[in-house]
Structure 1
Amino acid sequence: MNFLPTDEQRLAVEGFNRFLETKLQPIVRRYQPDKLIEKERMLEIFQLMLPYGMGGNGIIAEKHGGMGMPWLTYALMYEQLARVSGDVAISLLIQQLGAYSLEVCSNDAMRDKYLPRMLRAEIIACSGISEPGVGSNVAEVTCRAKKDGDLYVVTGEKTWISNGHYSDFCMVIVRTSDDGAKGLSMILVDRAEHGYDSRNIDKLGLNSTSTAQLFFDGVRVPAANMLIAPGAGLKNTLVLFEKARPMVGLTSVGIAQAALDKAVAYAKERRQHGKPIGAHQLIQGMLAEAAIELDAAKLLVYRAFNLIDHGVRCEVESAMAKCYATEIAVDVASKAVQIHGGNGITKDFGVELLFRNARMMTIPDGTTEIQKLIIGRALTGLNAFS
């Protein structure tokens, strides 16, 4: 087992870090702490990151116009993006997984129509799963797609949709029959061609990226836009979660790293009782605990991506990575606030924003509690979901 990055990975991360510090950081600072990055600016950011494989093109196969990166290499670079801007990282996560969903779907026409434009960062995607009454249990989705000749009529509401307010299209999990989990599919709804409305949601953190409610009011969509055959929607969604969950965990790792970096710098600079506060044992203990948690989270996340690269199903490992990384990020960011003392609860030092952003991450793509149930089911063979 090799814990060292390859020379190629190291050089890729170093080059991307230079870009982040010189190009991206000045842009995102204008939007901190809570100003929404406009769609045009987000697309501009994606376009700037394309040469590094970080504009939605990274993991897409070369034959489809992408760079064909291994997932782990992509993850090492994405971690650095999340360290600089959790908001941009989340938006890219949705964009990249949207491109991946198009790449692996069985609908060649939809792939050929939308994927090239995504890989040029000309349009923004979102994925519509959660609903006002449906969160962790995807099998209970109620958004309906009713067949009407060569069309499907889509009616329903989605919520907590990342990239939703400025999305050009949404890949919507819909119910095509009342046959429980077997009645789900995924259809692509184009905002300009078919029409849907959205409302941005103000949140605790990560307000520089869009999270929205989407409204589908009898939207008529060609049957040719069905990405997943009726009945296969749940299975495909759960497989996609195996890749999304360690990405969410990695976002938390980046946020936690930023918080720890700020805490270490402040502990070396701030003086009390005649010496830097970092020379006091209790402060060093807090920093050490944060560093241990952060390294453990990284290893769990890296393991999940290594398994993905080797084509190994990793539902449990992805759940562990997401569960642990998102929870320790809250703890690390909380320690950073505490080390900053009174300055930590102001908006001037940035750690309160990192704490709010970290707290956001324990919820999406299955809460901490859902991840524990997945792990518990694997350990006991007993299903707490039914």
Structure 2
Amino acid sequence: MNFELSEEHRLAVESWGKFVKKEIFPLAKEYQGEAFPPDVAHELMALMAPYGVGNGWIPVEGGGMGYDYFTSGLFFEELAKFSPDAAGLAWVAEGAALKIYNNASDKIKQKYLPDLVSGKLIGCSAISEPGAGSSVREIRTKAIKDGNSYRVSGTKMWTSNASVADVFLILAKTDERQFSLFLLDRKEHKIDVREIKKLGLNGWSMGEVHLDDVRVSADNLVGPLGSGLRETMKGFDRSRCFVSTLALGIAQSALDDALKYAADREQFGKPIAGHQLIQSLLADMATDLAASKLLVYRALTGLGISPDCSLHASIAKSFSTEAALRISSHAIQIHGAFGLTTEFPVERHFRNSRMLTIPDGTTQINKLIIGKALTGIDAFV
């Protein structure tokens, strides 16, 4: 088993990293405290598209780069070192584009897919609601059949990309036990969005989406009637893997910043990097990061091989996001009082990493998924 990246992967990531540092980071860093405006979000997507970030999962015949998930994960990890906000923006948009490629009618694909893969349009998936998070079956958004249309009403919560998206994939109940996925177009449908202020990842839009008796053509169904829940659940394994790549990027930046500060800062006549307790913190950080990478890379590899990699995706997500939080907390500790100020980036790493333990299954939910896979007993019921 070879644990080293191939030369092809190494060179591709190196080239991408240079581009991100030169073109993406200068633009994205201006919005570390507020959500990207729509024009900036679209500019970022257009910049990233030629590298396959935002379209890499789409096969070449669909206009994308056709990356395997491992390769794509390396690109997202590198991007997240500089801007986890831009990484989140692209990851959610790419997920929406993939659902359309895999499930939508030819008519819908022809209308939306070319602009989604080029970055001209941005997509999002609206699933969670104020009263339904981990238990997707409890959503209340309804789509009532009316001739050749559906009238969609409901409120979605915690929708990433909500304020900048052009295309919304809405999960709604089309019967008491039937869930379907609908495509709504911001230009064609009345969609009310309220941006939500949050702890971290503030450049990455997250919003509440309200739909009040919005008429949607039956042609806008994404996949067969009643297939929405299945498609949504299939997307969770992928999402857990790619949340984990953001955790890797944030953790790496926190470790790098801590190493630099420990080498530069002197106390008691020598750099603090030479003190035993600082080295202990750094060793714990490096160990957590190394373990996280192995788990995430394993999950990404499995994602491209098996249709069901829930166990490895949940292990990677629960461990890597909690590890990123520990690593960024240690980075603050090494910085001392300076780590508590906004003059150094480690407090931002801490806030950003804290955000990742919640979405696409909290740490606790993922532990229940792991437990079920190990025991065969469902603790959810």
The interval holding the TM-score normalised by the smaller chain is: over 0.9
Within the alignment, does 1:25 sit opposite 2:25 as a pair?
yes
Q: 1:208 aligns with which of 203, 210, 226?
A: 203
Within the alignment, does 1:176 sit opposite 2:171 as a pair?
no
Give the letter aligned to residue 374 of structure 1.
I
> Residues 65-80 of structure 1: matches in 2 within 5 Å?
65-80=63-78
> Residues 103-252 of structure 1: matches in 2 within 5 Å?
103-179=101-177, 183-252=178-247
Per the normalisation by structure 1, the TM-score is 0.97
Give the letter aligned to residue 172 of structure 2.
V
Alpha-carbon distance in 1 for matches of 2:214, 2:31: 34
Alpha-carbon distance in 1 for matches of 2:378, 2:105: 34
Match of residue 62 from structure 2: 64
Alpha-carbon contact 2:104-2:221 (below 8 Å) kept: no
Give the letter aligned to residue 254 of structure 1.
G
Alpha-carbon distance in 1 for matches of 2:42, 2:319: 31
Match of residue 321 from structure 2: 326
Match of residue 291 from structure 2: 296
Give the letter aligned to residue 285 of structure 1.
S
Match of residue 373 from structure 2: 378
Alpha-carbon distance in 1 for matches of 2:267, 2:66: 52
Which stretch of the first structure deviates more once superposed, 206-215 or 97-106? 97-106
Alpha-carbon distance in 2 for matches of 1:188, 1:265: 47
**Residue aligned with 1:176, SS:** strand
Alpha-carbon distance in 1 for matches of 2:64, 2:155: 32
The alpha-carbon deviation at position 230 of structure 1 amounts to 2.7
Alpha-carbon distance in 2 for matches of 1:29, 1:315: 34
The alpha-carbon deviation at position 42 of structure 1 amounts to 1.4
The alpha-carbon deviation at position 29 of structure 1 amounts to 2.4
Between the aligned residues of both structures, percent identity stands at 44
The alpha-carbon deviation at position 88 of structure 1 amounts to 0.7
Please, which runs of 5 or more residues in structure 2 have no aligned partner?
Answer: none
Match of residue 301 from structure 2: 306
Alpha-carbon contact 2:171-2:180 (below 8 Å) kept: yes
Alpha-carbon distance in 2 for matches of 1:288, 1:246: 25
Alpha-carbon distance in 1 for matches of 2:307, 2:232: 17
Match of residue 264 from structure 2: 269
Alpha-carbon distance in 2 for matches of 1:105, 1:2: 36
The alpha-carbon deviation at position 357 of structure 1 amounts to 0.5
Once the two structures are superposed, residues 240-264 of structure 1 have per-residue CA deviations (whole angstroms, 9 ceiling, x without a partner) of: 1111101001111111111111000
Alpha-carbon distance in 2 for matches of 1:372, 1:87: 26
Aligned length: 381
Give the letter aligned to residue 347 of structure 2.
E
Per the normalisation by structure 2, the TM-score is 0.98
Give the letter aligned to residue 2 of structure 2.
N
Please tell me the root mean square deviation across aligned C-alpha atoms, in Å. 1.0
Alpha-carbon distance in 2 for matches of 1:318, 1:228: 25
Once the two structures are superposed, residues 31-86 of structure 1 have per-residue CA deviations (whole angstroms, 9 ceiling, x without a partner) of: 23x122211111111111222111x1212111111111111111111101011011
Match of residue 51 from structure 1: 50
Alpha-carbon distance in 1 for matches of 2:161, 2:307: 29
Q: 1:348 aligns with which of 343, 347, 366?
A: 343
Once the two structures are superposed, residues 258-308 of structure 1 have per-residue CA deviations (whole angstroms, 9 ceiling, x without a partner) of: 111100000000000000011001000101101110111111111111112
The alpha-carbon deviation at position 231 of structure 1 amounts to 2.4
**Residue aligned with 1:130, SS:** coil
Alpha-carbon contact 2:149-2:218 (below 8 Å) kept: yes
Alpha-carbon distance in 1 for matches of 2:133, 2:34: 27
The alpha-carbon deviation at position 106 of structure 1 amounts to 4.4
